[in-house]
Amino acid sequence: MTPIIGIDFDNTIVGYDELMYRIAVERGLIDGDGDRTKRAVRDRTRQLADGEIEWQKLQALVYGPLIREARLLDGADEFIRRCRDAGMAVFIVSHKTEYASCDETRTNLRTAAIEWMAAHRFFERDGLGLSRDAVFFESTRAAKIGRIKAVGCSHFIDDLEEVFLEASFPRDVQKILYAPVPPLVPASSATVVPSWRALCDVFFHKA
């Protein structure tokens, strides 16, 4: 049976780490030194007096009005293209609300994400060749899992292990955890891949 591939969007296809770090420094939330990962930026921002609010605002900015500056994670496009070339259906299933509560610009986050995909040629025939109808945004994690079932995914790739740990996550869907910093002890039965290239090698049996 031909695999049906489902992929998460935020921090799986699109990466915000560098952007978050830069904006956090520009807004004076953190100094321009130290660890540049999203987790480090979050932890340092949260230590501020209004840290939680500032962290929410920072996320609203990078997922919304500034998303065009976020980057395509290395090899994600290549993986999707190879799946398409092999005749596999590819769906993007994202847990994403329409608006962020802390976003004063009232940017529609789903529209912003679609525009980012379009700018990276996701919907062009000679780009990644995805249909706009193959992209789903859901308002809750439960609805996201429902969608993964509804489109009949055989595999799902996500950066968030919590998704795979949900009791409602279907047992017959192969879990692939995209983890550039792999967990020391994986909490789920997911296959852990450190990069898209590694996943390509596993998936397409290339040495």
Q: Which is nearer to Mg ion, 48 or 114 (CB)?
A: 114
Q: Which is nearer to Mg ion, 12 or 107 (CB)?
A: 12
Residues 6+ apart with CB under 8 A from 113: 9, 14, 63, 67, 94, 96, 137
Size of the site for Mg ion (CB under 5 A): 6
| Binding string, residues 110-149; x marks residues near Mg ion by CB under 5 A | ----------------------------------------
Q: Which is nearer to Mg ion, 10 or 17 (CB)?
A: 10
Provide, rounded to whole angstroms, the least separation between the CB of residue 16 and Mg ion.
Answer: 10
Provide, rounded to whole angstroms, the least separation between the CB of residue 206 and Mg ion.
Answer: 26
Query: Would you say 83 and 43 are in contact if contact means Cβ atoms under 8 Å apart?
Result: no
Q: Which is nearer to Mg ion, 164 or 203 (CB)?
A: 164
Selected range binding Mg ion among 11-19, 39-47, 120-128, 139-147, rule: CB under 5 A: 11-19
Residues 6+ apart with CB under 8 A from 186: 161, 177, 192
Buried b (16+ CB within 10 A) or exposed e, 5-43: bbbbbbbbbbbbbebbbbbbeeeebbeeeeebebebbee
Chain residues in the site for Mg ion (CB under 5 A): 8, 10-12, 159-160
